[in-house]
Amino acid sequence: MASEKPNRSLERLEDGDRDSSAESPTGDRPIAVELEDVTKRYAGTTAVDGVSLSVREGEFFTLVGPSGCGKTTTLRLIAGFESATDGAVRFHGEDVTGVPPEARDVGVVFQNYALFPHMSVGENVAYGLNFADPPGGVSDDERVRELLELVDLEGMQDREPDRLSGGQQQRVAIARALAPGPDVLLLDEPMSALDAQLRERLRIQVRAIQKELGITTVYVTHDQEEALAISDRVAVMRAGTPEQVATPQDIYRRPETRFVAEFVGDNNVFDGTVRSLDGDGLASIDVGPETFTVAPGKRDVAVGRALALCVRPENLIVAADPSDGLETENATTATVRSAEFLGETTRVHLEWHGQELLVRTRNPLSGDVLVGFDPEDAHVVAVDRTV
Ligand code: ATP
């Protein structure tokens, strides 16, 4: 994994259009959890490679990335289950790098629920109180009732865990983690054992619980859609390091690197070279045999520079019959290769000069079609030569 470390010396295109970006709603709060240049090495592997990031009080912060990119290790370093090889972990400015997990005031939820099968639901939740007095001066029983209500399982305290659905069991695990009133909630792929429908329902519930309590939350998932749906901010990790940390809107609309552009959602990425710049802020980019016009915003593009041009499938406009023409710029002919019916739309795979393009459409397409895009709908990122 360490061997596929991205080329960090590669200059990134300057992102000058941040002022239009979405702000995290917790952007002005104090920092609750901070990692400064944290590295975790195992024999032969650098799992986490110089990570610096800050999570604000009450923020829902998600680590997302492909398998083996260091998400779980980063979470375990925050929990205290792993000790950092280098760097510092701080909670509210206080160094906790050498502090054991039980003294860190964190609640942890794992993928596999880890409920005690011989204990009832209520006993499982009360177990979370074994090492702490319930917050607010209430009795243990009251606290268990409060928590079961919070996770929408009121009246279920006498059930055995194996008589609950996967989603219900995970909510018991969340209630148990929240029982002592931790300062930070850490969740490691809590929904990956559940089916798609249940995941969507549970993620709405988890977000609602987090908002109700205002608890600082760090969440690990490999599912980029889940990360976008649930988070205030997302760190897209690659090879042990966050490649971009931003709001879901910015991650999707303004990826800073080609890796982020391709990892999060479908994208059409073209390698190109800047041919010319005009006075209206438009750039002409040579891409294969075509020249596309794009609006790179305030990004620093210079004539002759190599870059990658990204156009989301939903921003590619299609004419099923090329003789109809297209009322958009950057029109070019492509050939339909296959289609996947997704219900609301169909994702069509096109071939364009040896490259695959994806479009989303409601109309059937076949043979040659015309595709094009508005210059404002293209996004420009630096070429990453390691991809
Ligand atoms: P996944 O989504 O597959 O769970 P991840 O992004 O959470 O992956 P980590 O589990 O943090 O990734 O692992 C990062 C890297 O560190 C991987 O290459 C993994 O094999 C390695 N690693 C993790 N734990 C250990 C360990 N205890 N000993 C040795 N190597 C480890």
Q: Ligand 1 centre from 383 Cα, in Å?
A: 28
Q: Is residue 198 part of a domain?
A: yes
Please work out whether the CB of residue 4 comes within 6 Å of at least one atom of ligand 1: no
- What pLDDT does 137 receive? 65
3-class DSSP assignment, residue 287: strand
Are 82 and 73 spatial neighbours (Cβ–Cβ below 8 Å)? yes
In angstroms, the Cα distances linking 143 to 58, 111, 220, 266, 370 are 22, 24, 27, 45, 62
Please work out whether the CB of residue 45 comes within 6 Å of at least one atom of ligand 1: yes
Are 297 and 210 found together in one domain?
no
- What pLDDT does 71 receive? 97
Are 186 and 326 found together in one domain?
no
Are 284 and 207 found together in one domain?
no
User: Cα separation of 25 and 34, whole Å?
Assistant: 18
Are 109 and 220 found together in one domain?
yes
Q: Is residue 387 part of a domain?
A: no
- Which of 253, 272, 297 finishes a domain? 253
3-class DSSP assignment, residue 136: helix
Q: Ligand 1 centre from 173 Cα, in Å?
A: 23
Are 276 and 307 found together in one domain?
yes
Q: What is the CATH number of the domain that holds 361?
A: 2.40.50.100
Please work out whether the CB of residue 67 comes within 6 Å of at least one atom of ligand 1: yes
Helix (H) or strand (E) holding 212: helix 196-213
- What pLDDT does 244 receive? 95
Given strand 86-91, what is the order of strands in its sheet?
45-56, 31-42, 86-91, 94-95
Three-state SS across 43-54? CCEEEEEEEEEE
Q: What is the pTM of this model?
A: 0.88
Q: Which residues of the chain have pLDDT under 70?
A: 1-24, 131-138, 298, 384-387
Q: Ligand 1 centre from 248 Cα, in Å?
A: 25
Please tell me the chain's helix, strand, coil percentages from 3-state DSSP, rounded to the nearest 5.
Answer: 25, 35, 40
Are 298 and 242 found together in one domain?
no
pLDDT digits (tens, 9 = 90+) for 94-148: 999 999 998 999 999 988 878 998 999 999 999 878 766 666 666 778 889 999 9
Please work out whether the CB of residue 190 comes within 6 Å of at least one atom of ligand 1: no
Q: Is residue 164 part of a domain?
A: yes
- What pLDDT does 132 receive? 63
Q: What is the CATH number of the domain that holds 148?
A: 3.40.50.300
Residue 30 tokens, joined: 């104090």
Q: Is residue 61 part of a domain?
A: yes
Please work out whether the CB of residue 235 comes within 6 Å of at least one atom of ligand 1: no
Are 44 and 163 found together in one domain?
yes
Are 239 and 269 found together in one domain?
no
- What pLDDT does 135 receive? 66
- What pLDDT does 131 receive? 63
- Which of 253, 280, 312 finishes a domain? 253
Q: Is residue 143 part of a domain?
A: yes
Q: Is residue 386 part of a domain?
A: no
Q: Is residue 206 part of a domain?
A: yes
Are 103 and 64 spatial neighbours (Cβ–Cβ below 8 Å)? no
Are 117 and 163 spatial neighbours (Cβ–Cβ below 8 Å)? no
Are 47 and 144 found together in one domain?
yes
User: Cα separation of 102 and 93, whole Å?
Assistant: 19
Which range marks the domain in which residue 111 is found?
2-253
**Residue among 224, 270, 315, 251 nearest 15 (CA):** 251
- Which of 198, 229, 253 finishes a domain? 253
φ and ψ at residue 47, rounded to 5 degrees = -75, -40
Q: Ligand 1 centre from 48 Cα, in Å?
A: 9
In angstroms, the Cα distances linking 79 to 32, 126, 147, 185, 242 are 13, 21, 22, 9, 18
Q: Is residue 127 part of a domain?
A: yes
- What pLDDT does 55 receive? 97
Are 347 and 366 found together in one domain?
yes
Are 270 and 150 found together in one domain?
no
Q: In total, how many domains does the chain have?
A: 2
Are 320 and 226 found together in one domain?
no
Helix (H) or strand (E) holding 259: helix 258-263
Measuring from atom 2 of ligand 1, which residue has the nearest CA? Answer: 67
